[in-house]
Each structure stands twice: as C-alpha cells, then as structure tokens.
Amino acid sequence: MPSEFELIARYFVQRNEGESTGVALGAGDDCALLVPSSGQQLAVSVDTSVVDVHFPAQAPAWAVGYRALAVSLSDLAAMGARARWCTMAVTLPEADEAWIEAFSQGFHALCAESGISLVGGDVTRGGLSISVTVHGEVPAGAALCRNGGKAGDIVAVTGPLGGGHGGLVAWQQGMRDLADPLLSRYLLPKPRLSAGLVLRGLANCAIDISDGLLADLNHLCEASHLGAELDMERLPLATGLEDLLGGEGARHAALCGGDDYELLFSLPEAFLTEAQRRLRECSLDLWPIGRLHAGAGITGVDEIAASGWQHFPGGAS
C-alpha cells in the first residue's frame, strides 16, 4: 500500500485555492487557510460513517465516498447554511488502490455537486471508517435551529420517507442496482442544501431526518418545548416502499427508519405557498404532515406503527 503522503497526494488533494472558494491555502501544509465571508456565521458539523454500522462492507466504493460526505452535508442543509469547506479523516485497512480511487471519486463528485472544497485530510491504517467535518456559512441570525418552532406551525418534509430503510432491506435481499429508487435513497442520499437555503426566513425550525421521522420530530419538539400532531394519512412514502414492505411495514419505515436525509421543518401556515413555490424551483416538493401545538409529545401515530422506534437500528448511532 502506498504511504499516507502518496495516498493523500494522489486521491485526496484538490487544487482549489481562489477567491470564489475562499481557500487561501489548500491541503499540503500543517493547516489549510480559509477566508470566512464577512457578516456570516460558520456552521460546523462532523459525522462518522463506520463499515457495517452505517454502510455495508460490500457497498460500491464510489457510493461509500459519496455517502460519507452526504450525511455531513445534510447537517448544513438542516441549518440553512451554504456549503463551503470540508475535511476528511479516513481510516483504511489494507485496501486495494482501485477501491481508494473509486471512493475518492465518489467523494469528489459530491464536492463538485454541492460546491464544497476539500481542504484537509488524514489517512490512517485501521478498520474502515470515514469522519467528515463540514463548514458552511449562514448570515448571522438566519440559521434554522431546532428550537424555533411555534405553536400552530405546519410540520412538513421535503420528500417521501422510509426510502433509507427500504434501501437497506433491498440491499439485504440482494439488490445491487444503484438505479433502484430505494437502494439509491439508502446508498446515495441527496443532502437538501438548496432546500435549507430557500427555507431561510420562512421555516421556524428544521432538522434532517437521519434517526427517523419520530425521533427527529421529537428532537424538534423537545428543543422548541412543544408537542406535535401527525397526520398519518399525509405521510409521503418512498416509491416502491409499500411493494417491498407492505402497507404497515412501509408506514413503520417512514416513521422509524433512519437515513432518509429529507429536511423536517415547521413554518407558519401563511408561508406555506411561498415555501412550496421556492422548493418547486429546486425541483423539490413540500409535504405537510402535521402541526405543532402547545404541549408535549407526538400524537396521531398509532402505537403499532410506532412500536419500538427507540430501538430501531437507524437510531442506534
């Protein structure tokens, strides 16, 4: 296996210095040097993807690289931040170089798609895991926090749910075609960065659905000191989910399955039309699924559908 230096130089360095990228000095020195924009706050988050916990060992390397960045970018999306810079720490067993090349290409592909610059990395020997720290920018006071929900707000999501869990099940059943709508939801999630940007000024609170709808709605409710009433009839289900899991299984996956990476947010009813218009411009929908109210807890969910959600695999890490 080539040395750390060779691997970094060959696969993980982007030449990205420039005024538009805000990179004064890229990878290759002790630190990268970045130029924050005036009047903006820096939004920072880190996520680790571990083999056989967050993705299967046999997943295509390209998808592993893409997905490791996607789950971190999803946190910037949920904050309404513009993606700027990231660092990646990857721990690798004695992997073959073809795997590393495909992995880095998946990572770089999403860098290009999302406009983020890779500015630092570390490559070490060990069990396969990838930690990505992302940096975004958001005007002071404009970030979409979890604690801003208001009683009476509409609760909505940016897309159909349950696909992350459905894709995992499809993978376990032997599906390997990344064009499959469920498998692609699981292995190639799309961080909703443009949704986060256009919801600024409209949404009162937001989170990305990584732990499952009920778990993440619960985070919003607790932070906002409110309760929520869900309308199960309006819950959008991922394409193909009912065929794969049946009606009850599909609703359970939409409520409790993790890894959907759609945004979950609340907004005043008066902003609903404008939010729908803006999201449509990003080729996204807005699905109202309930309402916040004074009180606590989540109602409107039948117990069977929600049973066991606290110990559901998607919520484990």
- Would you list which residues are annotated within the binding site for ATP? 121-122, 146, 210
Whose CA is closest to 92, among 133, 52, 31, 51? 51
What SS3 class is residue 145? coil
Residue 113 makes CB contacts below 8 A (sequence gap 6+) with none
Angle, vertex CA 112, rays to CA 111 and CA 113, nearest 5: 95
What SS3 class is residue 213? helix
Stretch that binds a copy of itself, among 126-134, 174-182, 250-258, 298-306 (CB under 8 A): 126-134
**Gap between the Cα atoms of 108 and 176, Å rounded:** 22
Output 110 or 144, the one with its CB closest to a copy of itself.
144
What SS3 class is residue 45? strand
**Gap between the Cα atoms of 148 and 166, Å rounded:** 31
Binding to a copy of itself by residue 184, rule CB under 8 A?
no
User: Closest approach of Cβ 167 to a copy of itself, in Å?
Assistant: 20
- How far, in whole angstroms, is CA 298 from its chain's centroid? 23
User: Closest approach of Cβ 75 to a copy of itself, in Å?
Assistant: 4
Residues β-bridged to residue 129: 50, 91
DSSP secondary structure string, 164-178? HHHHHHHHHTT---T
Taking CB under 8 A as the criterion, the residue among 126, 179, 233, 308 binding a copy of itself is 126
Binding to a copy of itself by residue 308, rule CB under 8 A?
no
Output 53 or 294, the one with its CB closest to a copy of itself.
53
Output 125 or 280, the one with its CB closest to a copy of itself.
125
Taking CB under 8 A as the criterion, the residue among 29, 177, 233, 303 binding a copy of itself is 29
Stretch that binds a copy of itself, among 8-16, 125-133, 160-168, 295-303 (CB under 8 A): 125-133
Site string for a copy of itself, 206-235 (x = CB under 8 A): xxx--------------x------------
**Gap between the Cα atoms of 65 and 62, Å rounded:** 5
Amino acid at 16: N
Q: Which residues are annotated as a binding site for Mg(2+)?
A: 30, 45, 47, 75, 122, 208, 211
Binding to a copy of itself by residue 143, rule CB under 8 A?
yes
Phi, psi angle pair for 38, to nearest 5°: -65, 140
- Considering only residues 1-20, where is the footprint of a copy of itself by CB under 8 A? 3-4
Residue with tokens 């996607």: 70
- Considering only residues 36-65, where is the footprint of a copy of itself by CB under 8 A? 36, 38, 40-48, 50-51, 53-54
Contact set with a copy of itself (CB under 8 A):
3-4, 24-25, 28-36, 38, 40-48, 50-51, 53-54, 75-76, 78-79, 81, 85, 87-89, 91, 119-127, 129, 131, 133, 135-136, 138, 140, 143, 145-147, 206-208, 223, 316-317
